[in-house]
Amino acid sequence: MEQSTESQLKGKNYIPLVVTLTIVINGSIAVFFFLDGASASAPFDVTLLPMLNAIYNSFTTVFLLAALYAIMKKNVKAHRRFIYAALATTTLFLVTYLLHHGLAESTTYGGDGLMAGIYYFILATHIPLAALIVPLALLSVIWGYTNQLHKHRKIVRWTMPLWLYVSITGVLIYLMISPYYT
């Protein structure tokens, strides 16, 4: 007797996939961050990429808030669509982030005083949480998609606020450092 597709999805172990994707994504970010992008040439203005990053992060924030609202109204279909949209804009962010760090020199924050303290605090919390959100978001989406709702509800209590924080602080970081892009 064949199992239904749903039970086949539920029974599958997705942890190796999540671990692999987390290593590949976070590893790629680390490698690209330390590349000397100044030696690369691009057929377009790479200074537009940080703005695109902020735009994608803004859309991610809006989609996550809409997903939260939809699930509070028990509209699972809309919730899923908004989560998939947030995942898509986060993926687009990742692509433009990697492009930027592969093609352009790193920009340092030029402010000082209280604003520098605020900037570096936001940055110091944003970076590790951005790395942590990768496996949390992947597991949340997988467990939601496979209707493992007990696991899904348990993890999204952490994933949603952290993902929102990362997407919002990504925009704030851009707004604070954008005057220093060359």
Looking at every residue in the chain, the average pLDDT score rounds to 90
Q: Has residue 67 got a pLDDT over 60?
A: yes
Q: What share of the chain is helix, strand, coil (3-state, %, to 5)?
A: 80, 0, 20
Burial string for 163-174 (b: 16+ CB within 10 Å, else e) reads: bbbbbbbbbbbb
Average pLDDT on 55-83 reads: 98
Q: Has residue 13 got a pLDDT over 60?
A: yes
Which range, of 10-19, 91-100, 117-126, averages the lowest pLDDT? 10-19
Q: To 10 degrees, what angle do helices 76-103 and 149-177 make?
A: 40
Average pLDDT on 33-40 reads: 66
Q: Has residue 41 got a pLDDT over 90?
A: no
- Residue 94: Cβ within 10 Å count: 16
Which range, of 66-70, 101-105, 158-162, averages the lowest pLDDT? 101-105
Q: Name the fold adopted by 46-180.
A: Four Helix Bundle (Hemerythrin (Met), subunit A) (1.20.120)
pLDDT at 1 (0 to 100): 39
Identify the band that residue 33 occupies on the pLDDT scale cut at 50, 70 and 90.
confident
CA angle 2–8–16, rounded 5-degree value: 145
Q: What is the pLDDT of residues 139-154, one digit of tens each?
A: 999 999 999 999 999 9
**pTM of the entire predicted model:** 0.88
Q: Residue 103 is which amino acid?
A: L
pLDDT at 143 (0 to 100): 95
Average pLDDT on 78-106 reads: 93
Average pLDDT on 113-125 reads: 97
Alpha-carbon separation of residue 121 from 81, 126, 169 (angstroms): 33, 8, 10
Q: What is the pLDDT of residues 81-91, one digit of tens each?
A: 999 999 999 99
Token representation of residue 5: 């597709």
Q: Domain extents for the chain? A: 46-180
Token representation of residue 130: 């951005």
